[in-house]
Amino acid sequence: MQKLYINGKWTDAGSGETFESYNPSTGEVIDTVQAASSADIDMAMSAARASFHDWTVTNVTERAEYLRRYLYALREEKEELAKLVTRETGKTLSESAGEIEDALNLSDYLVGEGKRFFGYVTPSTMKNRLAYTQRCAYGVAALLAPWNFPVSIIVWKMMPALLCGNAVVIKPASTAPLTAGALVSFGEDIFPPGIVNLITGGGGSVGKQIISHDEVDVVSFTGSTEVGKKIKNAAGLKEVGLELGGKNPALIMPSADIRKAVNDTVSGAFGVAGQRCTATSRVIVHEDIIDAFKPLLLEKTGALKVGDGLDPGTDMGPLITYGQVKAVDGYVRGAIEAGARPLCGGEALGGCYYSPTIFDRVSTDMQIAREEIFGPVLCLFTCSSLEEGIHIANDVPYGLSSAIYTRDLRESFRGTNELASGIVVVNNPPGAVEAHLPFGGVKESGIGRSGGIEGINEFSRTKTVYIDY
């Protein structure tokens, strides 16, 4: 049974309540997890606050060395960790391994940033005055992570928060608490007590109390736009970073390498069973190549093997819960009733599995074309020009990531300039992520950025210093 981790110790929850973590591929119970009470949350916050001062006055290069030791521990455990991620989330083993590599890359980058924790010096308007800025921690950081990338997203939050001198309280999704527990356990003998704390339980109860807690100074959340809006309202004057939903388009122009665009579209749409904010959920194909593109798309999709993520032959694993299967199927039934045509899939396969699904005859005002489904469903559109394609791509409430496929330099730059998203990718799927570059969206896809210098900015404030001499 997994306990809470508070002030450097695995601690029994005062509530006496538990919940179970399931393998969505098989339905088996992996382990039982304790659910935190209000008193437990208070204890974690107090521990974080009490440890904050000594941690934040530790030289930043020394904090970076703690991160280096954690990086080495994570690297040593990556193979077993990947198996746990696959068991707990259902994603394929290669997807789990790739996620862990993203976490390792970010950690490696941040270790170096400990020696580049820059402010800036600027001339003062006053005589005999030195003026400069320096980065400072907020204090206690509440990190609320989703289940679909339970390693990389926690690490992408925890590592910059710690580097900046914050103490952290981690709240993982209740569908992936064991991976979070493993991540915390790797740091048991590395980080001082109270610097890293783990609280588990339901988002509607435990998560809400954490966000509104008086000891919390900064909140970082990754999840749905609906929940993100509630968090922003509940956080009051706390600093808030939100990585929210997406409805990501891939625009395919006549000069594109069609076969590559097809392969990328299938992997972008159905990787992690479509359960990622950067999934390709809309593909917009120019009318001059639609007749060549569509059959290849259906052939490639039809060849996907759906099954247990631990099976090396599996291309797409299950959805996270049976409830998510019903939600996805509800979108599919609604789309059919609205007049969209399913070209393949569109059915539950038993348990938590759902077939890879493609729709055409989709209008931009349909629910399936505008809302994040978080499942293996792709909408196919046709456009007659670059202008129309960009208009269709931008005609949603979200703006996380976009892609354009073209060999035309002019079209490439128009796409990067005019596609309304935080990330634009040319000739690759819209899910590109690199540790040293910012990741985040516009519109209802969130506020703030993770990764790169911007990710450090999210967990540090600027202090201005004047020295008269």
The answer to whether residue 151 is domain-embedded is: yes
Per-residue pLDDT of 215-238, as tens digits, reads 999 999 999 999 999 999 999 999
Confidence of residue 204 (pLDDT cuts 50, 70, 90): confident
Kind of pairing, strands 18-22 and 29-34? antiparallel
Whether 433 is covered by a domain: the verdict is: no
**Does 127 share its domain with 161?**
yes
Q: What is the pLDDT of residue 378?
A: 98
Maximum Cα–Cα distance across the chain = 76
Give the sign of the dihedral formed by CA 143, CA 99, CA 317, CA 80.
Answer: negative
What's the whole-number mean pLDDT along residues 286-303? 98
From the list 95, 113, 239, 277, the catalytic residue is 277
pLDDT classification of 381: cutoffs 50, 70, 90:
very high
Give the CATH number for residue 363: 3.40.309.10
Say yes or no: 63 and 133 in one domain.
yes
Same domain, yes or no: 329 and 180: no
Query: pLDDT tens, 236-277?
Result: 999 999 999 999 999 999 999 999 999 999 999 999 999 999
Average pLDDT over residues 73-86: 97
Q: What percent of the chain stands above pLDDT 70?
A: 100
Domain residues for 342?
Answer: 248-426
Write down the mean pLDDT value for the chain: 97
432 part of a folded domain: no
Selecting among 99, 243, 372, 411, the annotated active-site residue is: 243
What pLDDT was estimated at residue 431?
A: 85
pLDDT at 67: 98
255 and 143 in a single domain? The answer is no
Together in a domain, 135 and 57? yes
Q: How many domains does the chain have?
A: 2
450 to each of 41, 137, 186, how far by Cα in Å? 26, 16, 23
Residues 125 and 226 in one domain: yes
What DSSP string describes 266-332?
A: HHHHHGGGG-STT-EEEEEEETTTHHHHHHHHHHHHHTPPB--TTSTT-SB---S-HHHHHHHHHHH
**92 and 27, same structural domain?**
yes
Output the domain CATH number for residue 40.
3.40.605.10
Q: Is there a domain that residue 372 lies in?
A: yes
Share of the chain above pLDDT 90, in %: 99
Let me know if residue 434 belongs to a domain: no
Do 143 and 276 lie in one domain? The reply is no
Asked if 87 and 30 sit in the same domain, the reply is yes
Instruction: Report the distance separating Cα 168 and Cα 207, nearest Å.
Output: 14
- Distance between CA atoms of residues 461 and 419, nearest Å: 31
How high is the pLDDT of residue 415? Answer: 97
243 is annotated as an active-site residue: yes
Residues 68, 117: one domain?
A: yes
d(CA 112, CA 103): 15
Q: What pLDDT does 203 receive? A: 83
Same domain, yes or no: 152 and 133: yes
Does residue 440 register a pLDDT over 90?
Answer: yes
15 in any annotated domain: yes
Residue-wise pLDDT tens digits, 398-430: 999 999 999 999 999 999 999 999 999 999 999
* Cβ-proximal residues to 58 (8 Å cutoff; 6+ apart), any chain: 165
Q: Within a domain: residue 65?
A: yes
Does 437 map to a domain? no
Is the pLDDT at 134 greater than 90, yes or no?
Answer: yes
277 is catalytic: yes
28 with 103, same domain: the answer is: yes
